Structure 1
């Protein structure tokens, strides 16, 4: 596809017209099935990685606080919430902007994918596991809780080893998010290179 056609399709900036969005969706439906499947389900693979990161963070906090009870009650939200938040965040930041013609920069797509993966599969599980396991530790008296003046210092000391152990997982998640978004941008370019049907030709001439 010529540069002029690209400008016609996604030259609307941050407010793409319904015609441009419809054209891109129609082109998406004409992609090979493998590309369409990877584009549609790629965020779920990223979300599954976030779920594993959540379970690892939960396990590390449980060990640090000597919690033996409520394994399922603490593990379920630590798997489900990071998965859902990562999928929703990736779709909002990468997938939907690509299909609407509002994300036309490969570097921006790569950065967005890596950022969503880092937050959803790294920082969010840690921030989520902390209050869940703090509540369980208080309820079951599994670990002595600090006095009011030492609360912040106590939780920082508990969280630092967890973050250190999860740092490798966070890096892998960020790399996978960047890789996924770069592949999705490549699929987006394939959409633009498809020979236009009659409706595309009419749109480009208007």
Structure 2
């Protein structure tokens, strides 16, 4: 393996810096960023996760009503809030925040797209599917709603979910918007960090 494949090139200064050194330099200069940029970069994934937990609680409430479930409120609310929060916050951290600080994400459009996907899939779609699964189990255990016959299972639950998905549409749009905004802001923060660390030539890092 050639030496060049193990290094990162910083355009504009004619320097070649090992990836490990580059990441360490970025981390050391993180505290020099404006306070609002640091807080949004560190805690933004938690805000997105909080929205996912809220979406999970809304979905859970809608499915409980649709399936006539009056018992087990805490048992259904805890997983539909906690799991979406953890999954969404973790996904955003891995796919956007950590990837930016490691120098592996140098495209603003990619950062916004990843943020939007995490918002919609992790913060919207996953809570809805999780709420459906939890409440199917409860409905079957408590016998509060008729279960579908064999061969008609998928269609039955699609019909049950259709009005709930319509009601959840604004939540999905909000998650997409917030994920896109967060990805855009975090990329701006990364750009400021690169400028602070490497000078004006550090605006653009190439693999």
TM-score range, shorter chain: 0.7 to 0.9
Is 1:4 matched with 2:4?
no
* TM-score after normalising by structure 1: 0.87
CA contact (8 A) 1:115 1:174 kept: yes
Instruction: Give the equivalent residue in structure 1 for 2:183.
Output: 181
Is 1:122 matched with 2:97?
no
Instruction: Give the equivalent residue in structure 2 for 1:85.
Output: 87
Instruction: Give the equivalent residue in structure 1 for 2:6.
Output: none
> Unaligned stretches of 5+ in structure 1?
10-15, 198-206
More strand by share: 2
- 1:7 to 1:174, Cα distance in 2 relative to 1, 3 A: farther
How far apart are the structure 2 equivalents of 1:194 and 1:168?
Answer: 39
1:176-201, CA deviations, whole angstroms, 9 ceiling, x for partnerless residues?
0000110111111111221659xxxx
Instruction: Give the equivalent residue in structure 2 for 1:30.
Output: 32
How far apart are the structure 1 equivalents of 2:114 and 2:173?
Answer: 15
**1:149: Cα distance to partner?**
2.5
Return structure 1 stretches of 4+ with deviation > 2 angstroms: 5-9
* TM-score after normalising by structure 2: 0.86
> Unaligned stretches of 5+ in structure 2?
1-9, 200-207
Among residues 35, 56, 59, which one is paired with 2:58 in the alignment?
A: 56
CA contact (8 A) 1:55 1:78 kept: yes
Task: Please provide the CA RMSD for this pair.
Answer: 1.9
How far apart are the structure 2 equivalents of 1:169 and 1:59?
Answer: 14
Instruction: Give the equivalent residue in structure 2 for 1:144.
Output: 146
- SS at 1:4 equivalent: coil
Aligned residues: 190
CA contact (8 A) 2:108 2:187 kept: yes
CA contact (8 A) 1:6 1:192 kept: no
How far apart are the structure 2 equivalents of 1:31 and 1:163?
Answer: 41
- 1:20 to 1:170, Cα distance in 2 relative to 1, 3 A: same
CA contact (8 A) 2:96 2:114 kept: yes
